[in-house]
Amino acid sequence: MSDMSRIKTFNLPDLGEGLTEGEILTWLVKVGDIIELNQPIVEVETAKAAVEIPAKWAGQVQAIHHPEGTTVEVGAPIIAIDTDPGAGPLDAPSTTATPSGDLPIPSAASLAAVEVAPAEGMVEPGLIGGAAPGGRTAVLVGYGPRTTSAKRRPRKGGVPAQAAATPAPVAPAPAPAPVAPGHNGQGVAATGGLVLAKPPVRKLAKDLGVDLTALTGSGPLGSITREDVQQAANGAAVVAEPITATATSAASFGADREQRIPVKGVRKLTAENMSRSAFTAPHVTEFLTVDVTRAMKALERLRSRREWRDVRVSPLLLVAKAVLLAVKRHPMVNSTWAGDEIVVKEYVNLGIAAATERGLIVPNVKDAGRLSLRELADSLTDLVQTAKSGRTSPADMSGGTLTITNVGVFGVDTGTPILPPGESAILAFGAVREMPWVHKGKVKVRQVTTLGLSFDHRIIDGELGSKFLRDIGDFLADPEAALLAWT
């Protein structure tokens, strides 16, 4: 087998729903490692979740094209694999070190010799999901097969892949354009005021408020890179015309005392969803304060039972059960506004809002209404632990019908939650506190919480929303009596 057919390059796949880029969080392999088919090789964060991507081939890792922390466009090469390492050493390709000295840049000849995709089980360009060996459909873990064309962000002034892969003879130019010296000695070409920068770099500069025309590029042919933009945002870039501070400025209120955090990944998606929901669905929020002393005592009795000793039992479990029972009594709450019609769903995919290091996510328990209390407890525990570890798959965050946000874990009494897109109700569960409460005609110290229910007023009117919230409160005030009365 020749070197040309041995080396295969794995491109970043479309991880679902038309995503155009992903950030490399962690490489799970290094150059020289022997890997197996479908072995996880890299963890990538998209706008929805962190996903481990498996290897398409077995073999030996020959090159890693992007370091951790790099945002890579879908379709860009991320790793090269020698599929027949036992055939002997490869011819050493000529490489050029990057400015950081971390990763080699393959030469044009070596890139031309790399086979990008296998002949067998190959997925057609732009098509998600294709036939794999054995007749199954090749998809990533956590995604269903797709056979629709993937949406790609158009490249401005881009060069066709075929033209880029096959160097064409270059005619001598009449006169070279003047070049300003850059970090790498190549500089920025004077292109009539145009700036050499890829679309993702231009978008990053726009988000961070950086003027590209004031930068000196450190990339090939003087192009501006993401690093140049980020350095400029931090006040460390070399600019064309340095700005001198005036002598009259007493205190600095500039970029040197500001922190700019790029909005990307989960946080960016959450911001888009919340903005769309807040200005699309007319929100109404109602509040109810409930004496949950009996519910807390019921939890203690449940924990003491032998079959429940290894189960995580929390107040959230009873709140979830209360919501599920209340939905059965008021099905319209579990619905979606679809323009000309309202879609009432006979299943409840119960979302639980979870705060993670990467931002707010809302995974959901599928068909939670069919689960027993023990099954619901196990599902909630798995859902929360998976979310905290950053392993929630996009499939677990899609299809939610109704959500609970447990703000009480932060010591907050309640809030006015914003509806997740496509849902008609969300419940905020506040902290359980010991408070003075009138009980049986006397003021006593009782355990009390406050519930906040936001709902879509196009679907749920005040009467329905109030009855739904009241039923949840009645269950938490006396779980045993509610179960006997409703089931």
Say how far residue 199 (Cα) sits from the centre of its chain. Answer: 21
457 flagged as catalytic: yes
3-state secondary structure of 283: strand
From the list 183, 330, 439, 457, the catalytic residue is 457
- Short-list 330, 317, 281, 318, CA closest to 470: 330
List CB contacts of 124: < 8 A, sequence separation 6 or more: 130
Q: How many CA atoms lie within 13 A of 336 on its CB side?
A: 16
* Catalytic residue numbers, as ranges: 457
